[in-house]
């Protein structure tokens, strides 16, 4: 409950935070660039954003691919984040839900997006398994996050935790280890908008046959 209150509080300021320019915004641009490479107008896609916050990424996808046949869904465990996500008039479905509950979703998805929320999941291995179970055959998991790979990352992440609460920022090696039996890693992109930012990586993970 305490974590939810923290993110409920930040929801009011989320879209104006300085990290939008140096972390969250650059991550969304990388996601959009990748989607431009793989999405086709003649195909229908169902896309789920886990830990969607105020829905910025889904809104940008909706605007960038207005002529495409997309069903967009977003979940977040913060009630206040979801309430703000629902304010714009768009065709995106938002629902308050904890990542531990996603196995209860009764649909499968072509793409699952998870950007900057993964470090806050208590059971990251289980979340990866649940993501794969919700993906269609050869669907993609697009996972982006701050990643603790060196002493500088550890130092900067130590101070971040004071504002966002307990988190575990898995290294590149750890992410690859926890995903290797379920996903084929097709690319790793380092996002470095400012020199002083910790390591942020975008993993392009394609589901393997179960």
H or E element that contains 57: helix 56-64
DSSP secondary structure string for all residues of 149-162: -SHHHHHHHHHHHH
Averaged confidence pLDDT in the chain: 89
Q: How large a percentage of the chain has pLDDT more than 70?
A: 86
Express each pLDDT in 170-187 by its tens digit: 999 999 999 999 999 999
Does some domain include residue 18? no
**Pairwise CA distance, residues 127 & 32, whole Å:** 23
Q: Counting every residue, how long is the chain?
A: 210
Please state, in angstroms and rounded to a whole number, the distance separating the CA atoms of residues 35 and 21: 21
Q: How far apart are CA 179 and CA 150, in angstroms?
A: 21
For residue 158, pLDDT over 70 is answered with no
How does 141-174 read in b/e, with b if 16+ C-beta sit within 10 Å? bbbbbbbbbeeebeebbeeeeeeeeebebbebee
Task: Classify residue 7: in a domain, yes or no.
Answer: yes
Token reading at 127: 């979340």
Residue 30's nearest CA partner among 206, 161, 197, 193 is 193
Domain membership of residue 64 as a residue range: 2-13+23-207
> What would the two tokens of residue 41 be?
């107008």
157 pLDDT more than 90: no
With 70 as the cut, is the pLDDT of residue 15 above it?
no
159 pLDDT more than 60: no
Q: Is 78 inside any structural domain? A: yes
H or E stretch covering 75: strand 69-76
Nearest to 75 by CA among 93, 112, 50, 100: 50
Let me know: does 118 contact 164? Beta carbons within 8 Å: no
Q: How many domains does the chain have?
A: 1
Q: What's residue 111's pLDDT? A: 98
Ramachandran sector of residue 2 (left: φ over 0; alpha: ψ -120 to 50; beta: rest): alpha
pLDDT value of residue 161: 60
Mean pLDDT within 34-57:
97
> Can you give the pLDDT at residue 2?
56
pTM for the model:
0.90
Residue 204 has pLDDT above 80, yes or no: yes
Position 81 pLDDT exceeds 70: yes
**CA neighbor of 82 nearest in space, from 42, 122, 49:** 49
**CATH code for the domain of 165:** 3.40.50.150
Give 197's pLDDT tier (boundaries 50, 70, 90). confident
> Which range has the top average pLDDT, 23-32, 66-75, 98-107, 148-157?
66-75
């Amino acid at each position: 409950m305490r974590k939810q209150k923290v993110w409920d509080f930040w929801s009011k300021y989320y879209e104006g935070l300085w990290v939008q320019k140096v972390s969250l915004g650059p991550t969304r641009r990388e996601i959009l660039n990748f989607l431009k490479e793989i999405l086709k107008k003649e195909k229908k896609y169902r896309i789920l954003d886990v830990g969607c916050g105020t829905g910025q990424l889904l809104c940008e996808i909706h605007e960038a691919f207005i002529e495409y046949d997309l069903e967009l869904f977003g979940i977040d465990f913060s009630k206040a984040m979801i309430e703000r996500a629902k304010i714009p008039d768009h065709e995106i479905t938002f629902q308050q839900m904890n990542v531990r509950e996603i196995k209860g979703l009764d649909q499968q998805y072509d793409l699952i997006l998870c950007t900057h929320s993964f470090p806050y999941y208590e059971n990251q291995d289980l979340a990866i398994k649940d993501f794969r179970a919700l993906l269609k055959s050869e669907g993609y998991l697009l996972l982006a996050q701050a990643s603790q790979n060196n002493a500088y990352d550890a130092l900067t992440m130590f101070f971040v935790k004071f504002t966002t609460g307990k988190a575990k920022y898995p290294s590149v090696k750890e992410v690859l280890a926890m995903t290797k039996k379920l996903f084929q890693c097709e690319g790793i992109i380092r996002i470095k908008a400012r020199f002083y930012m910790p390591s942020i990586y975008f993993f392009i993970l394609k589901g393997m046959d179960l």
